[in-house]
Structure 1
Amino acid sequence: MARRFRGESNHKVDSKGRVSIPASFRRVLEAGDPNWQSGGNPELVIVYGDHRRKFLECYTMEAIDEVDAKIDALPRGSMERKMLQRMFHGQSFPTSVDETGRLVLPAKLRTKIALEDEAFFIAAGDTFQIWNPATYDQEELAAAEEWLDELPEDFDPMQYLDGAGGS
């Protein structure tokens, strides 16, 4: 099984859109890039998606290859395939980590998620997300807290892993 991204952290974004990637995330990017060699810069794909997406989703090369294979398996010409191609091929930005462990986020991507001087990174298994910290707190964190508040006090989230208690 491939290595997973884990953790969350805030990082400064400079005026040129450069932001340091958490060191543990860089190790996963390296492991997920079949062309990466020691001393090199791992590649990744940033999917920014449509107007509803308020974060950037960063895929290792192996993870995006899995997505591409699933898209390719859909019937050619189907609306599902066209839309997924648009989202994952058209609304994406292939890039690499620079020599100092940073990403350079183009102005278009920074503007899309209202990213200014700080970025919030959060792991999502085989991907990680980059958010404006305020947007994350207002939307994702608030939704998670609301969901948790609706569960019984003695609820164990591990139940979902066994298929019991999940919907």
Structure 2
Amino acid sequence: MGVADRFLSNATNKIDAKGRVSVPSVFRSVLARNGTQELYAYQDFIFPAISMAGAEILERFERQIATLDPFSEEANRMSLLVHGGGIFMKLDAEGRLQIPDFVRDFTGIADRVTFAGRGDHFQLWEPAAFEEMQARARRERMRPA
């Protein structure tokens, strides 16, 4: 993965009256370079955020599930998170995403969305939740050992 193929930084954009939000151009550039047409959007496993990436991340999760006993509790939990907590989404011709209830209900997003780069994927956050989580991560990282 080259430097230009990573999702970096963050930006906050308004949701329009039709429920659409513009994806930051730097993120759209990464998607275009990677040839990503459809985005797999899933409820993050730790944060109150929606994680988004190309279908390859879903395939990675499914390979991991395939290594487990299909009747095990672990395999079923993982499938519930990956399959039951995910949808496919597409950008429109202007580079916007429709923000469905699936996203709003999980994140608390109302009228603005913070896009946060996470290297091989990006996330959709409610802006205040993102600011608080980033500040908390910074405080915890800076604690003396």
Same fold by TM (over 0.5)?
yes
TM-score, normalization by structure 1: 0.76
Amino acid at match of 1:127: H
Unaligned runs of 5+ in 2: none
| 1:48 match | 43
Equivalent residue runs for 1:1-167 within 5 Å? 1=1, 3-33=5-35, 42-48=37-43, 53-138=47-132, 140-151=133-144
* Structure-2 change in CA distance of 1:125 and 1:49 (3 Å): closer
Amino acid at match of 2:137: A
CA distances 1:7-48 after superposition (whole Å, capped 9, x unpaired)? 111111123321111112123223444xx5xxxxx1011102
CA distance in 2, matches of 1:9, 1:25: 10
Do the aligned residues in 2 keep the contact of 1:18 with 1:104 (CA within 8 Å)? yes
In the comparison of the two structures, how many residue pairs are matched?
A: 143
Structure showing greater relative contact order (alpha-carbon pairs closer than 8 Å, 6 or more residues apart): 2
Do the aligned residues in 2 keep the contact of 1:11 with 1:19 (CA within 8 Å)? yes
Runs of 4+ deviating beyond 4 Å? none
Unaligned runs of 5+ in 1: 37-41, 153-167
CA distance in 1, matches of 2:69, 2:58: 19
RMSD of Structure 2 on Structure 1 (CA)? 2.0
CA distance in 1, matches of 2:70, 2:102: 30
Say which SS state the counterpart of residue 93 (structure 1) adopts.
strand
* Structure-2 change in CA distance of 1:95 and 1:7 (3 Å): same
Do the aligned residues in 2 keep the contact of 1:60 with 1:126 (CA within 8 Å)? no
Computing the radius of gyration from Cα coordinates, the structure with the larger value is 1
CA distances 1:108-158 after superposition (whole Å, capped 9, x unpaired)? 3213211111111111111111101111122x1232122133037xxxxxx
Do the aligned residues in 2 keep the contact of 1:29 with 1:44 (CA within 8 Å)? no
Q: How high is the sequence identity, in percent, across the aligned residues?
A: 29
